[in-house]
Amino acid sequence: MTAEEDVAPLLRPEGWALLEALPPYDAAAALGLGSRLREAGQPAATVAAALTQSRLRAAARGKVGAFAAGMLFTTEGLEQATRLPVAARHADRFRRGGATRVVDLGCGIGVDAMAMAGMDLAVDAVERDETTAAVATVNLRHFERARVHLADVTDFPDPLPVARPGTPGGVDAAWVDPARRRDGRRLFDPQQWSPPLSWALSLPGTGVGAVGVKVAPGIERDLVEPDGPAAGWTAAWTSVDGDVVEAVLWWGSAATTGVRRSATVLRSVGSAGPDGEATVQVQEAGTLSDAGLPEAAVGEVGAYLYEPDGAVIRAGLVGHVAAEVGGRLIDPMIAYVTGDEHVPTVWARSYAVQAVLPWGLKRLRAHLREHGVGRVTVKRRGSPIDPEELRRALRLEGDGEATVVLTRRGDERVVLVVAPLPGP
Ligand SMILES: C[S@@+](CC[C@H](N)C(=O)[O-])C[C@H]1O[C@@H](n2cnc3c(N)ncnc32)[C@H](O)[C@@H]1O
């Protein structure tokens, strides 16, 4: 079914009523439920759309929590949507910078726009896909100061007024979360995104006072260097529970003064909701930036290994981790920190080093067998060896577990056998 077929029947009162009357989604019961509804006289297209939506609402709980129950989704729109608590942090940045009216340029199903509207910002959400714009309109229906416009964003600032002196009430901030996939494939070239990155980076020229542009976490750090295309912007990476979820380029009053790169580590708040599901809320464990970034020394592997959080690595801030744990890098080009003390830190996972071996399959196998290790977790940085192939080639038996770290020191390949330690 197309996104339009998934959504259009639900925009009619009888379709919406059917959706709202459905029991909580149960994959095993969906087929039978569909047959019963059709036998009771409900049109097949409406039943199919309502059941699809019921499934999407269940899938969306991980991103938007209990709000999912009152929202509409498209499959693609849900995949591309920001997690609501992360969206709330975008909105908060704009608000703290003094913005009052934000234009969301390419709003998708509207999760970022919902967070902005929920924080009392007026929102003009622009979307060029008709079905997606209809879904965003439904999702923003409770917010009086949010409007959805069916339009191409590259026409902005027409016809929306920018808040220049003398035009009060105009747009004073812009948010862009470009589509970074086409036909289900990820687009690695930022110029292929829609809208393209260079267009988003030109938005300060419209006169808005603050801009945020979501980019791929793997974006080049050099972008924000003084000679880069985003000089003067702050690049902010964010991880949730150790997974890097986004990078955003911030400009104007939404940027952080004196900061080119930052990394924020968030943790899910694990308490269960009333229906037993985990909540989607997050808590900030901390933020690091390149301001005052210490240079890390390089040296021998010590008694402990630290694997920095992905956001810290992407932002190029591993020097802070080394400073905090009193450690050093194993290799100047590789983001593993080692130290002689165990200092639990939110910036890295820590491990006790049990053995340091020169690379060699036979040597590693003999070591692991001797220690009764039957199962290994393989990690690698700076090593060409495929972890899955290594696991197969080791042919281990036994109950013991170990973590094997494949890395290098200069040209020398090394293997560390380590055991995870508790975090802070
Ligand atoms: C990554 S999604 C936005 C997700 C949104 N931030 C959220 O949290 O739900 C990008 C959206 O931009 C829209 N888009 C891409 N190019 C556009 C253009 N030139 N004009 C208007 N919308 C566009 C796509 O249709 C897509 O829905």
Q: For ligand 1, say whether the CB of 215 is within 6 Å of any of its atoms.
A: no
Is the sign of the CA dihedral 33, 35, 39, 41 positive or negative? positive
Q: Which two tokens stand for residue 321?
A: 């981790």
Given the CA of residue 132, which atom of ligand 1 is nearest to it?
27
CATH of residue 205's domain is 3.40.50.150
Report d(CA 12, CA 156) in Å as an integer: 31
Which burial class, exposed, middle or buried, applies to 39 when counting CB atoms under 10 A from its CB (0-12, 13-18, 19+)? exposed
Is the sign of the CA dihedral 256, 258, 263, 268 positive or negative? negative
Q: What does DSSP assign to residue 399?
A: S
Q: Is residue 65 part of a domain?
A: no
Q: Are residues 98 and 193 in the same domain?
A: yes
Report d(CA 187, CA 34) in Å as an integer: 37
Q: For ligand 1, say whether the CB of 82 is within 6 Å of any of its atoms.
A: yes
Considering only CA atoms, which residue is closest to atom 7 of ligand 1?
A: 81
Q: For ligand 1, say whether the CB of 153 is within 6 Å of any of its atoms.
A: yes
Q: Is residue 172 part of a domain?
A: yes
Q: Are residues 265 and 308 in the same domain?
A: no
Q: Is residue 201 part of a domain?
A: yes
Instruction: Tell me which of 233, 260, 288 is where a domain ends.
Output: 288
Considering only CA atoms, which residue is closest to atom 20 of ligand 1?
A: 152
Q: Are residues 48 and 95 in the same domain?
A: no
Report d(CA 69, CA 56) in Å as an integer: 10
Considering only CA atoms, which residue is closest to atom 12 of ligand 1?
A: 106
Q: Is residue 67 part of a domain?
A: no
Q: What does DSSP assign to residue 209?
A: S
**What does the pLDDT read at residue 284?**
95
Q: Which of 214, 213, 195, 217 is nearest to 204 (CA)?
A: 213
Which burial class, exposed, middle or buried, applies to 258 when counting CB atoms under 10 A from its CB (0-12, 13-18, 19+)? exposed
Q: For ligand 1, say whether the CB of 111 is within 6 Å of any of its atoms.
A: yes
Q: Is residue 46 part of a domain?
A: yes
Given the CA of residue 110, which atom of ligand 1 is nearest to it?
9
Q: Which of 162, 318, 189, 128 is nearest to 252 (CA)?
A: 162
Report d(CA 359, CA 303) in Å as an integer: 19
Q: Are residues 122 and 208 in the same domain?
A: yes
What's this model's pTM, rounded to 2 decimal places? 0.94
Q: Are 84 and 114 in contact (CB under 8 A)?
A: yes
Q: For ligand 1, say whether the CB of 309 is within 6 Å of any of its atoms.
A: no
**What does the pLDDT read at residue 277?**
56
Which burial class, exposed, middle or buried, applies to 45 when counting CB atoms under 10 A from its CB (0-12, 13-18, 19+)? middle
Q: For ligand 1, say whether the CB of 108 is within 6 Å of any of its atoms.
A: yes
Q: Is residue 71 part of a domain?
A: no
The domain total for the chain is: 3
The residue assigned the tokens 């009619």 is 12
Q: Is residue 182 part of a domain?
A: yes
Q: Are residues 283 and 411 in the same domain?
A: no
Instruction: Tell me which of 233, 262, 288 is where a domain ends.
Output: 288
**124, 128, 311, 418 from 205: Cα distances, Å:** 19, 22, 30, 52
Considering only CA atoms, which residue is closest to atom 16 of ligand 1?
A: 194
Q: Are residues 272 and 367 in the same domain?
A: no
Q: For ligand 1, say whether the CB of 127 is within 6 Å of any of its atoms.
A: yes
Q: Which of 2, 113, 125, 102 is nearest to 64 (CA)?
A: 113
CA 195 / ligand 1 centre spacing (Å): 8
CA angle 49, 50, 55 (to 5 degrees): 100
Report d(CA 382, CA 408) in Å as an integer: 6
Q: For ligand 1, say whether the CB of 126 is within 6 Å of any of its atoms.
A: yes
Q: Are residues 317 and 278 in the same domain?
A: no
Q: Are residues 353 and 208 in the same domain?
A: no
Residue-wise pLDDT tens for the chain (424 aa)? 888 888 999 999 999 999 999 999 999 999 999 999 999 999 999 999 999 999 999 999 989 999 999 999 999 999 999 999 999 999 999 999 999 999 999 999 999 999 999 999 999 999 999 999 999 999 999 999 999 999 999 999 888 889 877 677 899 999 999 999 998 899 999 999 999 999 999 999 999 999 999 999 999 999 999 999 999 999 999 999 999 999 999 999 999 999 999 999 999 886 555 554 556 789 999 999 999 999 999 999 999 999 999 999 999 999 999 999 999 999 999 999 999 999 999 999 999 999 999 999 999 999 999 999 999 999 999 999 999 999 999 999 888 999 999 999 999 999 999 999 998 8
Report the DSSP beta bridge partners of residue 212: 175, 250
Percent helix, percent strand, percent coil in the chain, to nearest 5:
35, 30, 35
Is the sign of the CA dihedral 337, 342, 344, 349 positive or negative? positive
Q: For ligand 1, say whether the CB of 85 is within 6 Å of any of its atoms.
A: no
Q: Is residue 293 part of a domain?
A: no
Q: For ligand 1, say whether the CB of 110 is within 6 Å of any of its atoms.
A: yes
**What does the pLDDT read at residue 157?**
83
Is the sign of the CA dihedral 304, 305, 308, 310 positive or negative? negative
Q: Which two tokens stand for residue 216?
A: 């791929």
Given the CA of residue 108, which atom of ligand 1 is nearest to it?
27
Q: Are residues 206 and 135 in the same domain?
A: yes
Residue to mutate (ligand 1; options 72, 74, 80, 124; most atoms within 8 A of CB): 80
Instruction: Tell me which of 288, 312, 342 is where a domain ends.
Output: 288
CA 34 / ligand 1 centre spacing (Å): 32
State which residues form the domain around 234. 78-288
